[in-house]
Amino acid sequence: KVKSGLAQMAKGGIVMDVVNAEQAKIAEAAGACAVMALERVPADIRKQGGVARMSDPKMIKEIMAAVTIPVMAKARIGHFAEAQILQEIGVDMIDESEVLTPADYTHHINKHPFKIPFVCGARNLGEALRRIDEGAAMIRTKGEAGTGDVAEAVRHARQINSEIKRAQSMDATELYAYAKELQVSHQLLKKTAELGRLPVVNFAAGGLATPADVSLLMQLGVDGVFVGSGIFKSGNPTKRAHAMAQAVTYYDKPAKVAELSEDLGEAMSGQPVTDETRIFSYK
Ligand code: PLP
């Protein structure tokens, strides 16, 4: 069964990446619905390279002690032992994340035996529904984390939308074939077509750096956003965190988003995504 409690609660919210208690407090004060505790934000993982693993449980516990909002943490794709550790120390949600180095290129974590909910990345409807079938309570676009380039998150949100619309236009016979093509359960695809959206909460992630980026993705129909490097790699994290959080609420009010976009200092410098620089969301 879908464990969607926290995901439902987070709906309409913003999850911010933080690497210490001080940043976690800034995120909470700015209105984050949750924080993602990690040792290195994606921009630094990208720059420094090496194998990226689950964070030190001590650091995660320090962040848990510093805030009252839910704390999420990342496990490597397929690394169910890291996920067991995160569940054991009491984090609120696990992100099975491509931002860390994958531990298993064939098998994602079977998320059903866990008591704790999972969020997983997806670039298209097939990936999203396979993750939900494995027990994910929440989906996020993969985007291209750590770049400050929103184009991949936009691509993935639009891809999922267009595949759902395609499924909705199909008759029963066609839907069986489409489920086969997408390598997903027919039942889950049918439910998605009936709902006209993913059957779990879907957030945008990967490259969002401005209140306008937040507004763009929210207008493309996502339920909320994750912001990684975009806040704490910017010139004025406190002000930008607040503006990004407000933008999730006022995304469809351009006058308000204009106001929120003023005088934020420097955005993260970023790196445009090309086939050569794309690393986290694959080809
Ligand atoms: N993302 C990453 C980082 C992967 O390693 C894999 C599997 O190789 C996938 C996505 C795709 O998984 P699936 O085809 O099961 O959805």
H or E segment at 74? strand 71-76
* Cβ neighbours around 200 below 10 Å, total: 23
- Tell me how far CA of residue 197 lies from CA of 28, 102, 185, 232, in angstroms: 29, 28, 16, 32
Residue 149 one-letter amino acid: D
Q: How many Cα atoms within 13 Å fall on the side-chain side of residue 131?
A: 30
The pLDDT of residue 283: 54
Q: Following DSSP, what letter does each residue of 225-240 receive, concatenated?
A: EEESHHHHTSS-HHHH
**Phi, psi (deg, nearest 5) at residue 66:** -85, -20
The percentage of the chain sitting over the pLDDT mark of 90, rounded to a whole number, equals: 88
Known active-site residue 74: yes
Cα–Cα dist 114/21, whole Å: 27
pTM across the whole model: 0.95
Q: CA nearest 95: which of 72, 111, 78, 116?
A: 72
Residue 130: the pLDDT is 98
| Number of the ligand 1 atom closest to the C-alpha atom of 108 | 15
CA-nearest residue for atom 5, ligand 1, is 105
| Minimum CA distance residue for ligand 1 atom 12 | 127
pLDDT digits (tens, 9 = 90+) for 33-66: 999 999 999 999 988 989 999 999 999 999 999 9
Average pLDDT (154-166) is: 98
Residue 3 has a pLDDT of 57
Which residues share a beta bridge with 114?
none
